[in-house]
């Protein structure tokens, strides 16, 4: 079995390539990535081929996908703030990019798993978020993810392509980049805490998220690929936990063994106040899945950050 991972040099993608490459059922793993936010070094020591190129390059995509039995489509311009900076670039990479991946997969009949996002629930205040709730995107990024999952469903309905769309909720863990303006909250907090710098909290910190460890996400994605799981509707990939940023900071302090400095700034545009998944559909499709608890995943994440070069927040100098 040959698996193509678009965005395979990114945070989730590289963790997935490592997991797939370790799977006896998988013969070959190919990562297709334009390295816009991903890093070649994320795949160091992983038995996967990296093809540097864009999913918007139809010929390149066709060549790479021509031998794939399954495609896990993770390539995207991630992050809400990036989409506010340049909505059209987000649309092209995420919406048009997904369309191109599905087109290339269609000729091969490959199983396609795509990454949508909890951001599609947006302004809908109902908790927990079950997949049948009305979506109310609050940012161009959220719209582009709605297009991603809708195209996957439409290609299944129109052409019989086997597809599955996951709605990821805040995924965190090793390889997630910090040290840039659009960093996600867990790497931003861990990086700042280890440097002794203030943790920047948008708003009062009572906003809450359903944090999901990347190791759990890659287990589910691998299982989906190996069992060729499909669904006409998107499936939340989170477990119904809800942690406020205030509680996340307390846990971080507990694990580091000291207090951290916190700086409050204004709320961020496009951010939703609370996010918590209904896990019913995920459990129905993946009854075996056992999520890694936040305390365990956070400890592993802190451990990885301690190995980074402090000058760049990238792999480099190894410290105790």
* Interface with ligand NAD (CB under 6 A): 6-7, 9-13, 32-38, 54-56, 74-78, 93, 97, 115, 117, 168, 170-171, 184
- In whole angstroms, what is the distance from residue 136 CA to residue 142 CA? 9
Smallest gap from residue 15 Cβ to ligand NAD (A): 8
Identity of the residue, 111 or 209, whose beta carbon is nearer to ligand NAD in the bound complex: 209
Identity of the residue, 185 or 249, whose beta carbon is nearer to ligand NAD in the bound complex: 185
Identity of the residue, 119 or 231, whose beta carbon is nearer to ligand NAD in the bound complex: 119
Smallest gap from residue 170 Cβ to ligand NAD (A): 5
Smallest gap from residue 240 Cβ to ligand NAD (A): 16
Nearest CA to 55 out of 92, 10, 82 is that of 92
- In whole angstroms, what is the distance from residue 204 CA to residue 264 CA? 7
Radius of gyration of the CA atoms of the chain, in A: 19
Give just the sign of the alpha carbon dihedral 189, 193, 198, 203: positive
Cis ω on the peptide bond leading into residue 79 (within 30° of 0)? no
Smallest gap from residue 165 Cβ to ligand NAD (A): 11
Burial of 27 (0-12, 13-18, 19+ CB in 10 A): exposed
Identity of the residue, 34 or 191, whose beta carbon is nearer to ligand NAD in the bound complex: 34
Smallest gap from residue 166 Cβ to ligand NAD (A): 8
Identity of the residue, 34 or 219, whose beta carbon is nearer to ligand NAD in the bound complex: 34
Give just the sign of the alpha carbon dihedral 87, 95, 31, 185: positive
């Amino acid at each position: 079995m040959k698996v193509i991972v678009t965005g395979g040099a990114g945070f989730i993608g590289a963790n997935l390539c490592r997991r797939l490459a370790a799977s006896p059922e998988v013969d070959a793993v190919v990562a297709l990535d334009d390295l816009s936010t991903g890093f070649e070094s994320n795949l160091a020591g992983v038995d996967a081929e990296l093809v540097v190129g864009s999913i918007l390059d139809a010929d390149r995509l066709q060549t790479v996908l021509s031998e794939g039995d399954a495609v896990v489509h993770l390539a995207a311009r991630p992050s809400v703030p990036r989409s506010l900076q340049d909505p059209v670039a987000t649309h092209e990479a995420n919406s048009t990019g997904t369309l191109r991946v599905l087109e290339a997969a269609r000729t091969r009949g490959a199983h396609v798993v795509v990454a949508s996002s909890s951001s599609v629930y947006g302004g809908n205040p109902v908790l927990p978020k079950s997949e049948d709730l009305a979506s109310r995107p609050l940012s161009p990024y959220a719209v582009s993810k709605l297009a991603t999952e809708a195209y996957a469903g439409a290609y299944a309905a129109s052409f019989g392509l086997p597809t599955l769309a996951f709605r990821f909720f805040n995924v965190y863990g090793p390889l997630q980049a910090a040290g840039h303006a659009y960093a996600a909250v867990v790497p931003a907090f861990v990086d700042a805490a280890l440097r002794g710098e203030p943790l920047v909290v948008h708003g009062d910190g009572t906003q809450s998220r359903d944090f999901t460890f990347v190791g759990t996400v890659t287990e589910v994605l691998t299982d989906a690929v190996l069992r060729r799981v499909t669904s006409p509707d998107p499936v939340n990939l989170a477990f119904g936990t809800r942690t406020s940023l205030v509680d996340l900071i307390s846990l971080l302090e507990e694990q580091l063994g000291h207090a951290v400095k916190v700086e409050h700034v204004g709320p961020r545009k496009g951010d939703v106040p609370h996010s918590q998944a209904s896990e019913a559909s995920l459990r129905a499709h993946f009854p075996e899945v056992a999520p890694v608890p936040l305390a365990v995943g956070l400890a592993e994440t802190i451990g990885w950050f301690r190995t980074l070069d402090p000058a760049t927040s990238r792999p480099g100098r190894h410290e105790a």
